């Protein structure tokens, strides 16, 4: 039975809709007959939720409600709560939803989530999920790329993006976590809590919209409620951020409340804050707007630092300052190493507001400095070419500091020779290719060798990004059959196989022991080989990775191959084979932020030995990358010293007059705590070892926690083969390693910890002979160049194709000559290999 109305609320809001005045009158708020016990339990949970959210009702009201709960008095519960409700939502028997204004004051807190009460009158006795939305809510950004967000497992960030540039300042949600419930109960009366956030202060009108599913809104906009909110201003909080040495600096900051909300909300971020990151970056002396109350702050400055956690209390009545004192666990600069990420972007991937324009050098500098990088290379590429190229300078950007340098250069991606492999061009003096007229649409070569030669002629350095050349077992099998099945019977006999570069030995491939290899056996062998490092499975070469590196390296125009962003085995495998041929190709570390990984710049990085310096020179740092005076890492693993007979990488060769022994000495360090993820080797991917290290795809939830302690397997590799290994504690301390190795022939020697760390090699030349470490490696390079021509030559423009073909034929012949010079390891070396169109 309905009791008499406790009060009658008439709300008149004057609106202007298409020039017409509209008047909205709220419905009568009445008490409704409902069983006392279930309503009492609903109210009990409501009080617990408000206490948890830090917005309890006045003590006197709470005391009276507690008594009414004990008495299970449904009328008294409604009489006490109704004055505190912002809106009354009615669901009729046909499950149509309408809403009216309640008597509570419409007051919000800028930069904070304010809980508001909603009363539900449920005549349908239904138990659906109630939904709240608003035209003034949703992302303020636009221009996201769905493919990139799928990689990041953050496709929710694309929902309702602000393509029409609407004025959005709210974030609305129902609090449906414990002790509240995700669905309505079906009781005729119950109360729920909504959380409303505002990014602005002052008086703002917003429309709240409620439904219980598509098509449940009542007719005539009766499910919509315009509300004039009064929004209390946020508190400006000053930040005092100091580095490990007491100097002011920039840090990575992540603010959360105990319910997990991130501040400021990602949906409300524009530059300098990025919507696809939970953290923000701020410098010493900056301010940030926060709501009054208690928050947790996690502060850091990249993987070389400890993450500092502290609970902060923001006062609305006093001056607020947050002191952040950063602490390192390792200091590579004390050993002469300075880190950089040679591949980051300021537009074209996840960047807003317009991906063809992106963000400014100042925005990117905050990211670079906040992650503790000494060098950040911002690369202009296809989608953002016209706008971002305006930031280019032959020197480091004006915003650079002595220990943090930003430089704009080029990635050939989305134009030119990209179909033969993307290319990073660093330390350019001129970004305009001859006859390109300053555009990306004309004049650029369509294969990589000419553009790399152009870059090197002006003093630049060159290399391939996201370099993994992955194995597709089906395509590997098809290639072997297409090139070696002389009898055309879809099998390889033992005689035919003797002239083929198999992924495994004939006997290992021939699992049914019938003396011939079927397509299925070849596929299975390639699949097994793909998990091995090194391996001889011919990669697919059908559109990704460092495809033309076999040609450009042999032509002498490629300085480095990139690692640390794609899967580690197919990255390092290509590098090992080229080193085994005696080419001086170096390894460098990158992130390809935010296209491959949006977590942070410097997820992959290269540490360059510069010695004791007074400031970082970009040109000298690039020279160190090209010379290989470096190691690559994710920042949680370090080779602070590595030497063979006292010789360090990139500083010269060790020479032996005859086969003999060398001394290997190293100092390594591993973080005591690091993220649990496939990228760091602390989580195994479902696809197998071949995908370890990958950052392109999130193989697990974005936040899978951290891994503490344990050990790391450090290996000394000679010509790609492990010759020494030792377990080292991951304890944040330095550890010395030493071993003696026999070197019977000219070889390269390096240190690695899979998948997080690899030094560049030290070459040991025996009797002045060049490195010819593996016939298999040389034939693999020849076959890969040959397959690349077959799969991709159609993307080379007709006028350029004769020169490209000549180069391909030349390098294939060179690899075969190198194979003939190498020690016989049983690999068949053909006299010639013809290119297949």
- Both 254 and 313 in one domain: the answer is yes
Supply 5's token pair: 């109305």
Residue position matching structure tokens 């926060």 = 290
What values do phi and psi take at 799, rounded to 5? -65, -25
Per-residue pLDDT, 700: 78
- Bridge pairing between strands 375-380 and 337-344: parallel
- Both 114 and 260 in one domain: the answer is no
In eight-state DSSP terms, residue 35 is -
Three-class HEC string of 552-566: HHHCCCCCEEEECCC
Per-residue pLDDT, 23: 30
- Both 100 and 177 in one domain: the answer is yes
**How confident is the model over 520-541, as pLDDT tens digits?**
999 999 999 999 999 999 999 9
Q: Is residue 780 part of a domain?
A: no
Per-residue pLDDT, 24: 33
Confidence of residue 2 (pLDDT cuts 50, 70, 90): very low
Confidence of residue 220 (pLDDT cuts 50, 70, 90): low
- Both 212 and 79 in one domain: the answer is yes
Q: Is 439 exposed, middle or buried (0-12, 13-18, 19+ CB in 10 A)?
A: middle
The C-alpha angle with vertex 707 and arms to 739 and 530, in degrees rounded to 5, equals 65
**How confident is the model over 729-755, as pLDDT tens digits?**
999 999 999 999 999 999 999 999 999
Confidence of residue 17 (pLDDT cuts 50, 70, 90): very low
- Both 114 and 201 in one domain: the answer is yes
Q: What is d(CA 37, CA 40) in angstroms, rounded to the nearest whole number?
A: 5
* End residue of a domain, out of 275, 297, 328: 328
Would you give the distance in Å from CA 646 to the centre of its chain? 38
Per-residue pLDDT, 771: 98
> Which residues span the domain enclosing 189?
5-232
- Bridge pairing between strands 560-563 and 250-256: unpaired
Q: Is the pLDDT of residue 156 over 90?
A: no
Q: Is residue 480 part of a domain?
A: yes
- Both 105 and 175 in one domain: the answer is yes
Q: Helices (DSSP H) in 401-518: which residue ranges? A: 448-457, 473-484, 494-498, 506-509
- Both 191 and 284 in one domain: the answer is no
Confidence of residue 217 (pLDDT cuts 50, 70, 90): low
Q: Is the pLDDT of residue 1 over 50?
A: no
Per-residue pLDDT, 88: 96
Per-residue pLDDT, 600: 93
Per-residue pLDDT, 7: 30
* End residue of a domain, out of 270, 298, 328: 328
Confidence of residue 21 (pLDDT cuts 50, 70, 90): very low
Q: Is 813 exposed, middle or buried (0-12, 13-18, 19+ CB in 10 A)?
A: middle
Q: Is residue 601 part of a domain?
A: no
Q: Is residue 548 part of a domain?
A: no
Per-residue pLDDT, 672: 98
Residues 816-836, mean pLDDT to the nearest whole number: 94
Residues 780-793, mean pLDDT to the nearest whole number: 97
Q: Which region among 443-447, 598-602, 604-608 has the lowest average model confidence (pLDDT)?
A: 598-602
Q: Is residue 600 part of a domain?
A: no
| Total domains, the chain | 3
Q: Is the pLDDT of residue 10 over 80?
A: no
Q: Is residue 458 part of a domain?
A: no
Q: Is the pLDDT of residue 22 over 70?
A: no
* End residue of a domain, out of 232, 262, 288: 232
Q: Is residue 388 part of a domain?
A: no
The C-alpha angle with vertex 785 and arms to 756 and 627, in degrees rounded to 5, equals 45
Choose between 595 and 84: higher pLDDT: 84
Residue position matching structure tokens 């809510």 = 137
Q: Is the pLDDT of residue 810 over 60?
A: yes
**How confident is the model over 237-295, as pLDDT tens digits?**
999 999 999 999 999 999 999 888 899 888 788 888 988 889 999 999 999 999 999 99
Does residue 264 have a cis peptide bond before it, meaning omega lies within 30 degrees of 0? yes
Q: Which region among 8-17, 147-156, 435-444, 792-801 has the lowest average model confidence (pLDDT)?
A: 8-17
Supply 58's token pair: 């006045």
* Residue 505 · residue 522 · CB < 8 Å: no
- Both 38 and 183 in one domain: the answer is yes
Task: State how far the alpha carbon of 752 is from the alpha carbons of 51, 668, 756, 760, in Å.
Answer: 53, 10, 8, 9
- Both 67 and 192 in one domain: the answer is yes
Q: Is residue 558 part of a domain?
A: no
**How confident is the model over 305-342, as pLDDT tens digits?**
999 999 999 999 999 999 999 999 999 999 999 999 99
Per-residue pLDDT, 355: 58
* Residue 295 · residue 310 · CB < 8 Å: no
DSSP secondary structure, 246-283, as one string: S-B-EEEEEEE-TT--EES-GGG--TTS-TT-S-EEEE
The C-alpha angle with vertex 362 and arms to 359 and 367, in degrees rounded to 5, equals 85
What values do phi and psi take at 391, rounded to 5? -90, -5
Per-residue pLDDT, 18: 27
CATH of the domain at 491: 1.10.238.10
- Both 184 and 280 in one domain: the answer is no
- Both 113 and 23 in one domain: the answer is yes
Task: State how far the alpha carbon of 578 is from the alpha carbons of 455, 586, 748, in Å.
Answer: 22, 10, 11
* Closest-CA residue to 439 (of 382, 378, 379): 382
Does residue 523 have a cis peptide bond before it, meaning omega lies within 30 degrees of 0? no
Residues 356-372, mean pLDDT to the nearest whole number: 93
Q: What is d(CA 824, CA 381) in angstroms, rounded to the nearest whole number?
A: 45
Please name the helix (run of DSSP H) or strand (run of DSSP E) that holds residue 196, with its range, or none: strand 189-198
The residues, any chain, with a CB within 8 Å of residue 394's CB and separated by 6 or more, are 428, 429, 430
Q: Is 33 exposed, middle or buried (0-12, 13-18, 19+ CB in 10 A)?
A: exposed
Confidence of residue 221 (pLDDT cuts 50, 70, 90): confident
The residues, any chain, with a CB within 8 Å of residue 454's CB and separated by 6 or more, are 433, 434
Q: How many Cβ atoms from other residues are within 10 Å of residue 488's Cβ? A: 7
In eight-state DSSP terms, residue 192 is E
Q: Is the pLDDT of residue 136 over 70?
A: yes
Q: What is d(CA 589, CA 460) in angstroms, rounded to the nearest whole number?
A: 17
Confidence of residue 226 (pLDDT cuts 50, 70, 90): very high
- Both 143 and 200 in one domain: the answer is yes
């Amino acid at each position: 039975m309905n009791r008499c109305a406790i009060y009658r609320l008439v709300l008149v809001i004057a609106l202007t809709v298409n020039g017409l005045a509209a008047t909205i009158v709220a419905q009568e708020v009445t008490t409704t007959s409902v069983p006392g016990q279930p309503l009492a339990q609903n109210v009990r949970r409501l009080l617990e939720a408000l206490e948890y959210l830090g917005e309890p009702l006045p003590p006197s009201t709470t005391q009276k409600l507690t008594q009414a709960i004990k008495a299970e008095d449904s009328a008294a519960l409604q009489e006490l709560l109704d004055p505190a409700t912002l809106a009354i939502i009615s669901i009729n028997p046909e499950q149509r939803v309408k809403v009216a204004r309640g008597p509570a004051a419409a007051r919000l807190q800028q930069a904070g989530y304010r809980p508001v009460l909603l009363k539900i009158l449920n005549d349908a006795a239904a138990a659906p999920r109630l939904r709240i939305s608003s035209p003034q809510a949703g992302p303020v950004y636009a221009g996201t790329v769905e493919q990139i967000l799928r990689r990041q497992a953050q496709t929710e960030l694309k929902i309702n993006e602000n393509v029409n540039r609407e004025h959005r300042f709210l974030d609305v949600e129902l609090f449906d976590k414990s002790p509240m419930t995700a669905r309505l109960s079906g009781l005729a009366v119950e109360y729920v809590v909504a959380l409303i956030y505002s990014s602005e202060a002052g008086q703002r009108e917003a429309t709240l919209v409620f439904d219980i599913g598509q098509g449940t809104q009542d007719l005539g906009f009766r499910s919509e409620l315009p509300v004039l909110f009064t929004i209390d201003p946020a508190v400006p909080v000053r930040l005092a951020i100091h580095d490990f040495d007491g100097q002011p600096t920039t840090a990575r900051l992540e603010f959360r409340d105990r319910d997990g909300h991130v501040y400021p909300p990602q949906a409300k971020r524009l530059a300098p804050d990025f919507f696809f990151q939970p953290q923000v970056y701020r410098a010493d002396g900056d301010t940030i707007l926060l709501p009054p109350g208690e928050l947790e702050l996690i502060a850091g400055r990249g993987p070389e630092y400890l993450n500092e956690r502290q609970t902060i209390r923001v006062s609305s009545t006093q001056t607020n300052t947050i002191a952040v004192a950063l602490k390192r666990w390792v200091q590579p600069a004390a050993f002469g190493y300075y880190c950089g990420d040679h591949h980051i972007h300021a537009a074209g991937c996840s960047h807003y507001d317009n991906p063809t324009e992106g963000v400014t050098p100042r925005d990117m500098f905050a990211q670079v400095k906040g992650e503790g990088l000494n060098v950040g290379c911002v690369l202009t590429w296809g989608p953002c070419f016209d706008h971002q190229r305006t930031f280019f300078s032959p020197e480091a950007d004006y915003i650079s500091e002595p220990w943090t340098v930003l430089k704009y250069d080029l990635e050939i991606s989305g134009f030119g020779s990209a179909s033969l492999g993307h290319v990073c061009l660093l330390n350019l003096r001129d970004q305009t290719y001859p006859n390109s007229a300053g555009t990306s649409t004309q004049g650029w070569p369509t294969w990589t060798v000419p553009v790399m030669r152009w870059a090197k002629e002006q003093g630049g350095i060159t290399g391939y990004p996201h370099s993994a050349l992955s194995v597709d077992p089906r395509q590997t099998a098809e290639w072997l059959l297409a090139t070696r099945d002389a009898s055309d019977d879809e099998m390889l006999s033992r005689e035919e196989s003797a002239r083929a570069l198999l992924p495994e030995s004939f006997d290992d491939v021939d699992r049914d022991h019938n003396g011939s290899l079927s397509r299925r056996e070849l596929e299975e062998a390639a699949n097994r080989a793909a998990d091995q490092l090194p391996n001889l499975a011919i990669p697919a070469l059908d559109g990704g990775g460092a495809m033309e590196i076999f040609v450009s390296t042999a032509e002498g125009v490629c300085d480095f191959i990139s690692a640390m962003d794609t899967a580690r085995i197919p990255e390092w495998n290509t590098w090992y084979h080229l080193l085994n041929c005696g080419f001086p190709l170096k390894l460098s570390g990158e992130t390809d932020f935010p296209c491959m990984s949006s977590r942070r710049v410097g997820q992959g990085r290269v540490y360059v030995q510069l010695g004791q310096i007074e400031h970082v020179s970009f040109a000298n740092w690039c020279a160190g990358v090209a010379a290989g005076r470096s190691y690559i890492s994710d920042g949680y693993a370090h080779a602070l010293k590595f030497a063979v007979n006292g010789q360090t990488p990139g500083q010269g060769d060790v020479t032996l007059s005859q086969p003999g022994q060398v001394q290997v000495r190293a100092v390594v360090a591993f973080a005591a705590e690091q993220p649990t993820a496939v990228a760091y080797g602390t989580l195994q991917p479902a696809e197998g070892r071949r995908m370890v290290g990958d950052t392109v795809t999130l193989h697990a939830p974005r936040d899978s926690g951290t891994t503490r302690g344990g050990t790391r397997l450090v290996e000394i590799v000679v010509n790609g083969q492990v010759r020494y290994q030792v377990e080292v504690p991951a304890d944040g301390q330095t550890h010395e390693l030493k071993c003696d190795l026999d070197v019977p022939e000219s070889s390269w020697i390096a240190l690695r910890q899979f998948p997080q760390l690899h030094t560049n090699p030290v070459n040991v030349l025996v009797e002045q002979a060049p490195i010819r470490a593996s016939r298999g490696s040389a034939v693999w390079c020849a076959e890969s160049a040959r397959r690349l021509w077959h799969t991709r030559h159609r993307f080379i423009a007709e006028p350029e194709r004769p020169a490209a073909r000549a180069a391909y034929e030349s390098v294939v012949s060179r690899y075969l000559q190198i194979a003939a010079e190498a020690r016989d390891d049983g690999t068949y070396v053909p006299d010639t290999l013809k290119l297949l169109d």
